[in-house]
A and B are shown apart, each in its own frame.
Chain A
């Protein structure tokens, strides 16, 4: 077992990782920016190293500062969490050079997963359905127009180096495609340092379904079922659940098998997620593979009884997989609500500030992953995620009952949060019946004006 792990992150995920380490008897080192001196992760870890500065580029994104902290504290491994350096293949490689274990996939798998077009090519070659479109980078407008003519409109332009909703543009007709293509190219170049674009047929309001996978050093890969992530706003997930009300055993087996093929095609090791979109006719298509622990991992944990962060640590020490989907003790239904410091009534504008009143929910079936507390000052420099509220019940209806109750109990004031929006979603008839897609949230929020 590792003696000491450095946690290269902040917020709720850093707290989550510190807890897993502590459960396993591993000492932890927190790194913290000057704005996070009062952070819960800073207080909870056995040791702490301050990274000078407050901006992400000077702190949680700064590889050399983090590696130095690991050396100085004699850490054996680094857990990157999600975001920041989690999907940076250079960082994974640098850890290796320094003799540190990076708790995550191998650098070459991270690189392949990060190149959306390369991952799509591998998935297609492995026999997994992909969304029709250009199967390679497109350079000229004529080429793009010809391909769009074949797939049919609307189409979506994507940046190969993008992801998470960034660098995407939907075009309804050839005129729009002509206009948007060159702008998208310039934007991708500026944002990602790689202007490779590809196009796909745009599926309107599909469902977003993802599969949790785990791989060990021997090359064995298993999945742990799906997460339903269709409740989104502008590609940002708001609420997730497991299992999905849209899947039956037959479809789950097909999609799970496809997820394993995709992961196998890039020799995946450790925890990851294969994302698919699912249309109304239950056709599914591979979208992307995320080479990290996901924000929404707790819903899988609640229904499989497997602590995914502990599994990540165990697997990175070379231990073999202990179970797969069929042998996991699957039980019940879990829902997660992301509580962000954002104002849903005002274009989701961020809402930093001091939490003057904090009353967390509790009781049977409630899990709360958070780094906030009474009196905590939310710094304006980082992510707006304050807490993940997870409810469990023996079936979907009971899980919804627990979540509705927990949302009623939860008070975070005076900052604006997504709690009121989640209350509305949980009270919705269509949500209750399981009929929703990625366009679902729109009806709960005031229409947004596009202004420049």
Chain B
């Protein structure tokens, strides 16, 4: 029998600006409801002109995108919530 899914928070490793898309013209990396694989890129974080790809820590499903696109996030702030088995 499958275990009940666990909620997993994806947090910002440092403070920065949250981006859901690789560029303004592109579609977002992920949407709520998407199934994601471990190490799949979920979003970008820009800190002092340096962009970091934030990757999924596990296989799972995106259940909530907490941070707002192009808005600041604090160090260790929650970016997204995943559901993992």
Q: Which residues on B sit within 8 Å (CB–CB) of A190?
A: 23
Do A380 and B48 have beta carbons less than 8 Å apart? yes
Annotate B41-59 by CB proximity to A: 1 below 8 A, 0 otherwise.
0000001111011000000
Q: Is the interface of A mostly helix, strand, loop or mixed?
A: loop
- Smallest CB–CB gap between A9 and chain B, Å? 15
Contact at B48–A381, with CB atoms within 8 Å?
A: yes
Per-position 1/0 for A372-407, Cβ under 8 A of B = 000000001111100000000000000000000000
Residue from A350, A351, A380, A382 in contact with B72 in the complex, judged by beta carbons closer than 8 Å: A380
- CB contacts under 8 Å to A, within B14-41, are 14-17, 23
In the bound complex, residues from chain A placing their C-beta under 8 Å from that of B53 are 452
B75 at the interface (CB under 8 A from A): yes
CB under 8 Å from chain B, chain A span 340-355? 341, 349-353
Contacts of B16 in A (CB 8 A): 352, 380
User: A380 touching B23 by the CB < 8 A rule?
Assistant: no
Question: Is the pair A352, B48 in contact by a Cβ cutoff of 8 Å?
Answer: yes
Pair B17/A352 contact, Cβ less than 8 Å = no
B48 adjacent to A382 (CB under 8 Å): yes
Minimum CB distance partner of B12 in chain A: A380
CA separation between A190 and B49, bound complex, in Å? 17
- Tell me if B75 and A384 are in contact (CB < 8 A): no
Q: Which of B23, B47, B48, B53 has the most CB of A within 10 A?
A: B48
In the complex, A165→B72 CA distance in Å? 27
- B71 vs chain A, min Cβ distance (A): 10
Residue A22 interfacial (CB < 8 Å): no
Assuming the A-B contacts A341-B48, A380-B48, A383-B48, are A352 and B15 also in contact, with contact meaning beta carbons closer than 8 angstroms in the complex? yes
Determine the distance from Cα of A352 to Cα of B75 in the docked complex, in whole angstroms.
9
A436 at the interface (CB under 8 A from B): no
A54: interface (CB < 8 Å): yes
Contact call B14/A54, Cβ cutoff below 8 A: no
Cβ–Cβ contact B14 & A351, under 8 A: yes
Give min CB distance, A426 to chain B, whole Å. Answer: 25
- Nearest B-chain residue to A353, judged by Cβ: B75
Query: In whole angstroms, what is the CA distance A352 to B17 when docked?
Result: 12
CA gap between A349 and B53 in the complex, in Å: 12
Q: Among A349, A353, A382, which residue has the most Cβ atoms of chain B within 10 A?
A: A349
Cα distance A349–B14 when bound, in Å?
A: 10
> What residues of chain A lie closer than 8 Å to B50, measured between beta carbons?
349-350, 384
Pick from B17, B23, B75: contact of A381, CB below 8 A. Answer: B17
| Chain B proximity mask over A176-201: 1 for CB below 8 Å, otherwise 0 | 00000000000000100000000000
What separation, in Å, do the CA atoms of A452 and B41 have in the docked complex? Answer: 10
- Chain B contacts of A331 at CB under 8 A? none
Q: Is A55 an interface residue (CB 8 A)?
A: yes
Given contacts A349-B50, A350-B47, A352-B47, contact A381 B14 (CB under 8 A): no
Complex Cα spacing A352 to B23, Å: 24
Chain B hits for A383, CB < 8 A: 48-49
Chain A residues within an 8 Å CB radius of B15: 352-353, 380
11 extra A-B contacts, CB within 8 A, seeds A349-B50, A380-B47, A382-B49 = A54-B72, A349-B47, A349-B52, A350-B14, A350-B49, A350-B50, A352-B75, A353-B15, A380-B15, A381-B48, A383-B48
| 21 A-B residue pairings within 8 Å (CB atoms) | A54-B72, A190-B23, A341-B48, A349-B14, A349-B47, A350-B47, A350-B49, A352-B48, A352-B75, A353-B75, A380-B14, A380-B15, A380-B17, A380-B47, A380-B48, A380-B72, A381-B48, A382-B48, A383-B48, A384-B48, A384-B50
